[in-house]
A = this chain, B = another copy of it.
Amino acid sequence: MAVTETTVKDACAAAKHAAVDLARADTTTKDRALERIAELLEERTDEIGEANAADLADERAQGLSTALRDRLTLTAERIAGIADGVRAVLALSDPVGELIEERTLDSGLELRKLRVPLGVVAVVYEARPNVTIDCAALCIKSGNAIVLRGSSYAQRSNAALAGIVAEGLEAAGLPADGVQLIAGGREDLAELATQEGVVDLVIPRGGEGLKDALKAVATVPVMYAAAGNCHVYVHSDADLEMARQVAYNAKVDRPGVCNSAETLLVNADVAAKLLPKLLGELHGAGVELVGDERARSVAGATPVGEASDSDWDTEYLDLKMVVGVVDSLDEAVEHVNRHGTGHSEAIITSSGDSADAFTGGVDAAAVYVNASTRFTDGFVFGMGAEIGNSTQKLHARGPIGMRELTTTKYVLTGNGQVR
């Protein structure tokens, strides 16, 4: 059986129907499907490679940048890596059926609060065919049907991969309709995002343009992956050697990801001691620096440009950093809450009280004491594979793992209770 692109409404309805069986499936059955998907990825590496080559050869793909072509490319090694990822999800514990609460009500009713799948999860993504399998694996293990809306650039690759998912489901006795691949137009996006009562959640994996497009039309719930305007604040009592290492790492390690730092805030008491060396090192690593008046005045030989108002609100995602001097921890907290995006924030301090004041005062998904912001990640947090990182406060805050693809159900058992 082949996954064919069909109308959005029909695809979602088919997924909804399949979701009932997926929700009831036991762990062994779901694991069997995942193992078969991993095997098929290995068995059909050549076939997937051919589909991918056709996508890359398509005239539409000719205009893509080197970076985007690289993300679209599936090598044998990458396909093997995707299969490994499926087995890693297989090895995670099944969240479905978890008994969250249990009590006997006054009436004698036995109340249980159970973890259950959401139902139908839709993922909207760009020309990265690996996402097809990564997200399908997480959805299957968590008992959800999945609707994949990939990019038209990756059409042939996605069709080959989604076909493997469908075959894996069937091999385990699960409905192949549990995976659906739909076309990539803007109209399709609007139709997908308005399937109320059918699609339970849409997850966009892409840039701000995609998020804005969804915000404008969505009536079904959407979990927005986060922008990260992250800060490192160095308090007056910080170990300055530690501060230097953490700030450097938070900026330089991988500047293009959302948990890297964009702003460095330094307490006035230690600015003159810390900044000359630290800014020199950042500059040496190729970081473009801008700063406020006081930061610039202690920068020594390092060139630090004048920060504009917008710098404090910018997620550079690049080797650029804005540096500011503050007079107190309270001022740092206020700055972070005003300019931050609620992703990951760090303080360097040697005092427990200061740490508590910062972690208590800062309104963010993850707050670090004496560590780099770079640790915010589902794998690192011990949650297994992640599907994104949420800066929303409802449902999921921080890494979105498999458990965040579930909801709860109250089951109440009685012997004829009435009110």
Contact = CB atoms under 8 A, between A and B. Distances in A.
A411 interface: yes
Interface stretch (A146-154, A278-286, A375-383): A375-383
A50 to B, nearest CB: 37
Interface stretch (A122-130, A293-301, A360-368): A360-368
Main secondary structure of the interface of A (DSSP, over half): mixed
Given A105-B381, A372-B418, A409-B364, A394 B245 contact: no
Q: How many copies does the complex hold?
A: 2
Nearest to A215: B219
Interface residues of A, number: 66
Contacts of A215: 219
Contact of A360 (B24, B248, B417): B24
Nearest to A201: B394
Interface in A403-419: 407-419
Contacts of A250: 418
Nearest to A119: B363
A239 interface: yes
A109 B371 contact: yes
A185 B276 CA distance: 56
A375 B417 contact: yes
A302 B86 CA distance: 59
Nearest to A110: B369
A219 B415 CA distance: 45
Given A23-B363, A111-B382, A242-B416, 15 more contacts: A20-B363, A109-B375, A221-B392, A223-B394, A245-B416, A253-B418, A365-B410, A366-B409, A366-B410, A368-B413, A369-B412, A371-B416, A371-B417, A393-B407, A398-B410
| Closest 3 pairs (CB-CB, A-B) | A371-B414, A249-B418, A393-B407
26 contacts: A23-B360, A105-B380, A109-B375, A111-B381, A118-B393, A221-B394, A245-B416, A245-B418, A246-B417, A248-B418, A249-B419, A365-B409, A366-B409, A367-B410, A367-B411, A368-B412, A369-B413, A370-B414, A370-B415, A371-B412, A372-B417, A375-B412, A375-B419, A376-B410, A393-B407, A395-B395
